[in-house]
Amino acid sequence: MPCLLALRCEIATHSPHESAVDPKRWAIGANPAALRSLNPIRRAMESMPTVQGRGKKPISLTLGDPCAFGEIKAPQVAVQALTDAISGFHYNGYSQAAGIYDCRSAVAEFLSKDLPYSLSADDIFMTAGCSQAIQFCIGALANSEKPSNMLLPRPGFPLYQSFCNLFGVEVREYDLLPNSDWEVDLRGVERLVDPDTAAIVLCNPGNPCGSVYTPHHLTQVAKLAGKLRVPIIADEIYAHMAFEGSKFVPMGAFASHVPVLTVGGISKRWFVPGWRLGWLSVCDPDCVLKEAKVLDAFTNLAQMHLSTCTPIQAALPKILQNTPQDFFSQTLDTLSTRADLCYERAQKTPGLSCPSKPRGSMYIMIRIDSDKFKDLRDDKEFALALAKEEALGVLPGSAFGFPGWIRLLFAAPETILDESWDRLEAFCTRHTK
């Protein structure tokens, strides 16, 4: 037992000198990086009053939870696959840290259908929701020994900012252009990149914009990132949730120009965010990331969490292979109708406008034309007053780094959306000049 002895010896020699301790004070200080890592969506939510304006029934179109209204249910095959995985007693233990081999293979096969090359199980890491895949990407690419920065979209999903803060990565925001279907401001990206840039983040279909990028635009972004020698983190949690004639194409399809780390999962498309299953796929046909040891970093990060929930991993191959196409086409029809409803009402509501119809995901960004309002100076005041007066919750654009706008979840039943827009219209009529 030489190791144990050595350890004891070390403990003995390093025991703190008693006089160094101040007996009146606890040596506790919360990590400033953790305190800076607050998720801005949660912050916006917490500053909202409990909505109950004028005795109306509260409606919340704030959080991106597709289950919030309970009417669209997860497909039966998913429920059955999970039930089977649990009742068989084979999946109560830990899995390999990166995930169950068969599960990773199934994800690789599923994603490869849309790619010009094939992924293997070794290119996939299973995670606790897409959020943890985001954490892994930022954690693996952040260099803690020298300054590093990442380019995030503005407006964008705020969790990226939180993880950058936690890992000490400087955030640089590039613009998405509302009058050009929220496409990337390519020149802005080029201006912001420097030798310390560790990644460019792109979300498609977009949260909060509801945008779906064309293959042409994705190629432009991939070529630019390739030229600048910066990998892309592609957030595709809304993969295939595209409608209005638009089609989803994964960023990984352009990985011959630039290495791509794709994060995804079943939360949104299968309506099960509470199941907490996501993945990270390494689209790196030229092995650039592998040579830079990024995959080793993922393995280490995965091992720190021991394992992702095993019954859900065990159920995943069946979920991916057997979910009926009808389930997807029906939910997309439903979402498309609701996006239309919101887009049309936004055009008719005084003081509001929406330059770009949503073509995917579950959100619409609406501009507040502030010069038309008598009071309400900004998006936060707008959201706060709307909650107080009309018991309707929406998120201020500032939660996504985009003041002057609001974001609405449109995955709510039509009756609820109609009622929400009636309230918005009454509210805006009252507050505009």
Contact mark string toward ligand PLP, 175..204, x via CB under 6 A: ----------------------------x-
Other CB atoms within a 10 A radius of the CB of residue 157 amount to 25
- Rounded CA gap, 170 and 196, in Å? 10
Output 62 or 207, the one with its CB closest to ligand PLP.
Answer: 207
Output 124 or 376, the one with its CB closest to ligand PLP.
Answer: 124
Among 124, 237, 387, 406, binds ligand PLP (CB under 6 A): 237
Output 207 or 420, the one with its CB closest to ligand PLP.
Answer: 207
Give CA separation, 219 vs 122, 213, 253, 316, in Å: 26, 10, 9, 31
State the nearest-atom distance from the C-beta of 334 to ligand PLP, in Å: 18
Number of residues that bind ligand PLP (CB under 6 A): 13
133: closest CA among 7, 206, 235?
A: 235
Output 215 or 274, the one with its CB closest to ligand PLP.
Answer: 274
Give CA separation, 357 vs 154, 156, 239, 304, 345, in Å: 18, 17, 18, 42, 12
Output 39 or 353, the one with its CB closest to ligand PLP.
Answer: 39
Q: Is 45 helix (H, G, I), strand (E, B) or coil?
A: helix
Distance from the Cα of residue 57 to its chain's centroid: 29
Output 267 or 308, the one with its CB closest to ligand PLP.
Answer: 267
Q: Which residues contact 317 (CB under 8 A, 6 or more apart)?
A: 102, 103, 105, 106
Q: Which residues contact 239 (CB under 8 A, 6 or more apart)?
A: 205, 248, 250, 264, 269
Judged by CB under 6 A, the stretch of 11-19, 54-62, 129-137, 322-330 that binds ligand PLP is 129-137
| 123 near ligand PLP (CB under 6 A) | no
Q: Which residues contact 363 (CB under 8 A, 6 or more apart)?
A: 64, 206, 207, 208, 209, 210, 407, 408, 409, 410
State the nearest-atom distance from the C-beta of 162 to ligand PLP, in Å: 12
Instruction: Tell me which residues in 54-83 interact with ligand PLP (CB under 6 A).
Output: 64
State the nearest-atom distance from the C-beta of 53 to ligand PLP, in Å: 28
Question: 243-279 in b/e burial notation, b at 16+ Cβ within 10 A?
Answer: bbebebbbbbbbbebbbbbbbbbbbbbbbbbebbbbb
Tokens of 25: 């004070």
Judged by CB under 6 A, the stretch of 75-83, 125-133, 245-253, 410-418 that binds ligand PLP is 125-133
Output 174 or 427, the one with its CB closest to ligand PLP.
Answer: 174
State the nearest-atom distance from the C-beta of 223 to ligand PLP, in Å: 24
Query: Is the bond into 205 cis (omega within 30 degrees of 0)?
Result: yes
Among 139, 153, 155, 278, binds ligand PLP (CB under 6 A): 278
Among 75, 129, 252, 311, binds ligand PLP (CB under 6 A): 129
Instruction: Tell me which residues in 358-387 interact with ligand PLP (CB under 6 A).
Output: none
Distance from the Cα of residue 64 to its chain's centroid: 10
Judged by CB under 6 A, the stretch of 124-132, 141-149, 184-192, 211-219 that binds ligand PLP is 124-132
| 207 near ligand PLP (CB under 6 A) | yes
Q: Is 430 helix (H, G, I), strand (E, B) or coil?
A: helix
Partnered with residue 175 across adjacent β-strands are 154
Contact mark string toward ligand PLP, 134..173, x via CB under 6 A: -----------------------x----------------
390: closest CA among 337, 340, 426?
A: 426
State the nearest-atom distance from the C-beta of 181 to ligand PLP, in Å: 17
Output 376 or 395, the one with its CB closest to ligand PLP.
Answer: 395
Chain position carrying tokens 């991993």: 313
| 401 near ligand PLP (CB under 6 A) | no
270: closest CA among 319, 212, 233?
A: 319
Among 123, 181, 183, 235, binds ligand PLP (CB under 6 A): 235
Cβ-proximal residue to ligand PLP, closest one: 129
Q: Enumerate binding residues for ligand PLP (CB under 6 A).
A: 64, 129-131, 157, 203, 207, 235, 237, 265, 267, 273, 278
